[in-house]
A and B are shown apart, each in its own frame.
Chain A
């Protein structure tokens, strides 16, 4: 027979069944869509929120850091400069908060139905993807308005997209599994994400950071993803390939670790959650 299922006790670090995950691709899309649809149906302005949020952030950063603090933005108009950072950052932060809550928010599914557990954190990336797409389109419009055309560097954009995705998913997997096991983590993660924001050059350029604090930014892989986005799309600065490569490797490592950890924990979800 075609489908043979063997059920046995879990044995530590298990292999990930990517083929099975692929079989469940429709469920990933449906769950992602459910979260988005339900969220925006409840809101009066619906999807408009996805547009309002980046506009608001960019306005605040431009006003505070550009106009009041008069920080430099590498010769690029300040709104364009920060919006590009917001595009890269919004996917990360919104996916992080969604995936942290993903398992806890789907307790009934976990305890009543079988499917590869990875489906849940993967589906939780839906919100982040919408936020990303909307703010990316806004960035393209703004680039058009400022007559700022991307150079040939844009061919490297997929590299940075992949880095961002790997890092986000990796950390998201850790957060979702950990918060399912230790419920109080869901309070800590938004705070942690807030701190992370301030050590990433989203609202201000890296050149404004005093040397003695620069190392924090250098160690942060998100720094090189945001810098990469600006380099690809706006042609800002020189690319630091060495540091980018290191954070790229680090992102892949986080993703692998996240997958393995999630896989190890997933057999317990139904019993603990």
Chain B
């Protein structure tokens, strides 16, 4: 390395995936593919998840990586964490790397909290002596003292996530790679995690941080990179990069294809319709708007219900709508389309992302985080021709009225 200060140097990194790879997992497919005359299966589409990405990270920098779904953020982190190899290009890393692409990886439900701390510590690359030394801190941070010797399958989901994050938070690598793990847990715990991450950067460690949570990027990072379609679009001060990201309107909000979840149940397409049923790229506050979602499943799903969590670009959950709230379930379905109609769209101008969930008997079948998005233009929500509209500081408009009466001071 030329410069002692540079801890990560990425040069012309590229990664190509072959689409449809997931579905040729059986030997039979492979053999039948060899004998096919048209070879159409062999010429599956190839896509570049990353294309000639180059950048450097200096010691102590906290670099945020932002970009839309499919821009290559996760692929980049996977390559830097050595989970998958690049197709072309190289990356050099100086220092002990800890990567946190998920919390609680390798947790076993049958094992107790204590056992899982040691197991997860080893998975994340900690020595047993290191875990023993930090054991009390981990337990205190996770607030699970009383349940240490209970199998984690009896934990509430909040406790589970707290314990998982706590182990990870006590990893002390020189370089930390983090992917969207803050999107878990309740709000107060998220706050605790954020401050823990802040501590990490104060200690002079280098952090690469992928997130949809722009507030977290702004709060934690001193540098940011905007990835677009597998390439570095720009790099600089987080404030500027976030602004660029919000301005760039290259996302096609017409009909959106949804990434394959790899599970037998798949959401396939999503689009937004206006009052007349036309597909629109942008909708407006207060207008009748429908979100249409198509899905298909390899197996019949009983008592299927679908839910959507709407998030603003700062990672804040604006609302959550579920078919279960309206007492609706679909029976024995393998393929279909659901429409969620907002008589009067409450969202204020801006862009939003939706996390999709499918449930069977109320239990999750597939959850796809930030799978699709939509854009809203400012409009007159109350339809009263308010010329000087309010500041629209919140993400939603709520129906309300103002009443004024004169009151004498003596009252």
Chain A contacts to B: CB under 8 angstroms:
1-10, 26-27, 30-31, 34, 37-38, 41-42, 106, 108-115, 181-185, 267, 270-272
Which residue in chain A gives the minimum CB-CB distance to B87? Answer: A9
Contacting residues, chain B, for A183 (C-beta < 8 A): 25-26
Contacting residues, chain B, for A34 (C-beta < 8 A): 106, 108, 111, 119
CB of A182 within 8 A of CB of B27, answer yes
Whether B115 is near chain A, meaning CB under 8 Å from some CB there, is yes
Looking at the complex, which one of B27, B86, B90, B119 makes contact with A185 (CB distance below 8 Å)?
A: B27
Beta-carbon contacts under 8 Å, B26-55 to A = 26-28, 30
- Given A109-B123, A114-B99, residue A270 in contact with residue B83 (CB < 8 A): yes
Q: Report A44 CB to chain B, min CB distance, Å.
A: 13
CB of A112 within 8 A of CB of B101, answer yes
> Measured between alpha carbons, how far is A38 from B115 in the docked complex, in Å?
11
> Measured between alpha carbons, how far is A110 from B102 in the docked complex, in Å?
12
Contacting residues, chain A, for B111 (C-beta < 8 A): 34, 37-38, 41
Q: Report B277 CB to chain A, min CB distance, Å.
A: 40
CB of A114 within 8 A of CB of B83, answer yes
> Measured between alpha carbons, how far is A38 from B110 in the docked complex, in Å?
6
CB of B125 within 8 A of CB of A112, answer no
Which residue in chain B gives the minimum CB-CB distance to A108? Answer: B105
Which residue in chain A gives the minimum CB-CB distance to B120? Answer: A30
CB of B85 within 8 A of CB of A7, answer yes
> Measured between alpha carbons, how far is A166 from B30 in the docked complex, in Å?
30
> Measured between alpha carbons, how far is A258 from B106 in the docked complex, in Å?
26
Number of B interface residues at 8 Å Cβ cutoff, please give it: 46
Query: Which stretch, B74-82, B308-316, B319-327, touches the partner chain A?
Result: B74-82
CB of B92 within 8 A of CB of A26, answer no
Which residue in chain A gives the minimum CB-CB distance to B127? Answer: A26
> Measured between alpha carbons, how far is A34 from B112 in the docked complex, in Å?
11
CB of A108 within 8 A of CB of B106, answer yes
Looking at the complex, which one of B90, B94, B110 makes contact with A8 (CB distance below 8 Å)?
A: B90
CB of A113 within 8 A of CB of B124, answer yes
> Measured between alpha carbons, how far is A10 from B88 in the docked complex, in Å?
9
CB of B110 within 8 A of CB of A4, answer no
Which residue in chain A gives the minimum CB-CB distance to B179? Answer: A112
- Given A111-B83, A112-B101, A270-B78, residue A6 in contact with residue B106 (CB < 8 A): no
CB of A267 within 8 A of CB of B27, answer no
Contacting residues, chain A, for B174 (C-beta < 8 A): 3
Whether B96 is near chain A, meaning CB under 8 Å from some CB there, is yes
Looking at the complex, which one of B81, B82, B85, B124 makes contact with A9 (CB distance below 8 Å)?
A: B85
CB of B105 within 8 A of CB of A112, answer yes
CB of A1 within 8 A of CB of B27, answer no
**10 smallest A-B Cβ distances: which pairs?**
A182-B27, A7-B91, A114-B82, A30-B122, A5-B93, A38-B110, A270-B84, A184-B26, A112-B105, A1-B94
**4 other A-B residue contacts (CB within 8 Å) besides A9-B87, A114-B97:** A9-B86, A30-B123, A41-B110, A270-B78
Which residue in chain A gives the minimum CB-CB distance to B173? Answer: A3
CB of A267 within 8 A of CB of B93, answer no
CB of A267 within 8 A of CB of B90, answer no
- Given A185-B27, A272-B25, residue A6 in contact with residue B92 (CB < 8 A): yes
Whether B165 is near chain A, meaning CB under 8 Å from some CB there, is no
CB of A5 within 8 A of CB of B82, answer yes
Looking at the complex, which one of A9, A27, A37 makes contact with B110 (CB distance below 8 Å)?
A: A37
Looking at the complex, which one of A1, A9, A272 makes contact with B88 (CB distance below 8 Å)?
A: A9
Whether B188 is near chain A, meaning CB under 8 Å from some CB there, is no
Looking at the complex, which one of B79, B95, B102, B122 makes contact with A27 (CB distance below 8 Å)?
A: B122
Which residue in chain A gives the minimum CB-CB distance to B96? Answer: A3
Contacting residues, chain A, for B110 (C-beta < 8 A): 37-38, 41-42
12 contacts between A and B (CB under 8 A): A5-B92, A6-B91, A7-B82, A9-B86, A31-B122, A41-B151, A112-B101, A113-B123, A182-B26, A182-B27, A267-B84, A271-B84
Contacting residues, chain A, for B93 (C-beta < 8 A): 3-5, 7
Contacting residues, chain A, for B127 (C-beta < 8 A): 26
Contacting residues, chain A, for B92 (C-beta < 8 A): 4-7
Q: Report A182 CB to chain B, min CB distance, Å.
A: 4
Contacting residues, chain B, for A115 (C-beta < 8 A): 123, 125
CB of A3 within 8 A of CB of B95, answer yes
Looking at the complex, which one of A1, A3, A109, A270 makes contact with B105 (CB distance below 8 Å)?
A: A109
> Measured between alpha carbons, how far is A228 from B174 in the docked complex, in Å?
51
> Measured between alpha carbons, how far is A31 from B107 in the docked complex, in Å?
11
Contacting residues, chain B, for A3 (C-beta < 8 A): 93-97, 174
Kindly supply a per-residue 1/0 record for chain B positions 123-147, scoring 1 wherever the CB is within 8 Å of any chain A CB and 0 otherwise: 1110110000000000000000000
CB of A113 within 8 A of CB of B105, answer yes
> Measured between alpha carbons, how far is A109 from B101 in the docked complex, in Å?
10
CB of B101 within 8 A of CB of A113, answer yes
CB of A8 within 8 A of CB of B96, answer no
Q: Report B45 CB to chain A, min CB distance, Å.
A: 15
> Measured between alpha carbons, how far is A111 from B94 in the docked complex, in Å?
23
Contacting residues, chain B, for A272 (C-beta < 8 A): 21, 25
Which residue in chain A gives the minimum CB-CB distance to B124? Answer: A113
Q: Report B25 CB to chain A, min CB distance, Å.
A: 5
CB of A7 within 8 A of CB of B87, answer no
Whether B118 is near chain A, meaning CB under 8 Å from some CB there, is yes
Whether B342 is near chain A, meaning CB under 8 Å from some CB there, is no
> Measured between alpha carbons, how far is A175 from B99 in the docked complex, in Å?
29
Contacting residues, chain B, for A42 (C-beta < 8 A): 110
Whether B17 is near chain A, meaning CB under 8 Å from some CB there, is yes
> Measured between alpha carbons, how far is A108 from B91 in the docked complex, in Å?
24
Beta-carbon contacts under 8 Å, B128-187 to A = 128, 151, 174
Contacting residues, chain A, for B85 (C-beta < 8 A): 7-10, 267
B88, B101, B106, B115: most-surrounded residue (chain A CB, <10 A): B106
CB of B82 within 8 A of CB of A26, answer no
Q: Report A209 CB to chain B, min CB distance, Å.
A: 33
Contacting residues, chain B, for A4 (C-beta < 8 A): 92-94
Q: Report B141 CB to chain A, min CB distance, Å.
A: 21
Contacting residues, chain B, for A185 (C-beta < 8 A): 27
Q: Report B301 CB to chain A, min CB distance, Å.
A: 22
> Measured between alpha carbons, how far is A216 from B21 in the docked complex, in Å?
39
Looking at the complex, which one of A113, A114, A184, A267 makes contact with B28 (CB distance below 8 Å)?
A: A184
